[in-house]
């Protein structure tokens, strides 16, 4: 079966940066299950997989605009430490969910000076070209319930 909107796809994937370092991989674990056309994957990868079938392998370089975005200086904020109260000791590298005018976003602590904390709302992979090697394990139609929930049930998905 071909990959098309509203189909459940199981893939094995390896993601590398432009230096060839592995950033993420499903090798040695269960394949990743997702529903095509629901924004579960970065846009560039969904596009590259559209129309492919089980057994196909796909190698694609996804530019930042179709990946985790272009670095945006407006997403870097300095806030007083006390505004992050309830989070315990603040350390570089810690991540916080915060509401912004564009919805919920993950911020990473990138620096601390005195009582001020620098938060960066850019994705850690912003500005990076993403090199995906994908093997398509299986393709099937999503059930009505899966479409309603927006995620896959059973193998590789939610069990509830
Ligand atoms: Zn569900």
Contacts 24+ apart (CB under 8 A), 124-128: 124/68, 125/23, 125/67, 125/68, 126/64, 126/68, 126/69, 126/70, 126/71, 126/72, 127/64, 127/69, 127/70, 127/71, 128/17, 128/18, 128/64, 128/67, 128/68
Residue 152 is classified by DSSP as -
Burial class (CB in 10 A: 0-12, 13-18, 19+), 119: buried
Distance 156 CA to ligand 1 centre (A): 12
Give the model's pLDDT for residue 46. Answer: 97
Q: What's the average model confidence in pLDDT over 67-87?
A: 87
Q: How confident is the model at residue 87 (pLDDT cuts 50, 70, 90)?
A: low
Distance 159 CA to ligand 1 centre (A): 7
Distance 160 CA to ligand 1 centre (A): 7
Distance 69 CA to ligand 1 centre (A): 28
Tell me the H-state helices in 20-143: 43-49
Rounded Cα gap, residues 84 and 33, in angstroms: 35
Distance 132 CA to ligand 1 centre (A): 27
Distance 11 CA to ligand 1 centre (A): 19
Residue 138, classed as helix, strand or coil, is strand
Distance 38 CA to ligand 1 centre (A): 14
> What digits encode the pLDDT tens for the residues 93-149?
998 887 777 778 889 999 999 999 999 999 989 999 999 999 999 999 999 999 999
Distance 77 CA to ligand 1 centre (A): 36
Distance 8 CA to ligand 1 centre (A): 13
């Amino acid at each position: 079966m071909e990959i098309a909107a509203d189909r459940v796809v199981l893939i094995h994937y390896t993601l590398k940066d432009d230096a060839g370092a592995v950033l993420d991989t499903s090798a040695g674990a269960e394949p990743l299950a997702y529903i095509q056309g629901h924004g579960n994957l970065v846009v560039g990868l969904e596009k590259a997989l559209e129309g492919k079938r089980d057994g196909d392998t796909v190698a694609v370089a996804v530019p930042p605009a179709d990946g985790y975005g272009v670095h945006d200086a407006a997403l870097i904020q300095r806030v007083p430490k006390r505004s992050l109260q309830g989070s315990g000791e603040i350390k570089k590298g810690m991540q916080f969910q915060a509401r912004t005018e564009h919805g919920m976003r993950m911020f990473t602590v990138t620096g601390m000076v005195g009582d001020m904390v620098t938060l960066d709302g850019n994705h850690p992979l912003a500005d990076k070209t993403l090199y995906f090697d994908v093997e398509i394990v299986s393709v099937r139609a999503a059930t009505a319930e899966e479409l309603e929930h927006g995620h896959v049930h059973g193998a590789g998905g939610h069990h509830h």
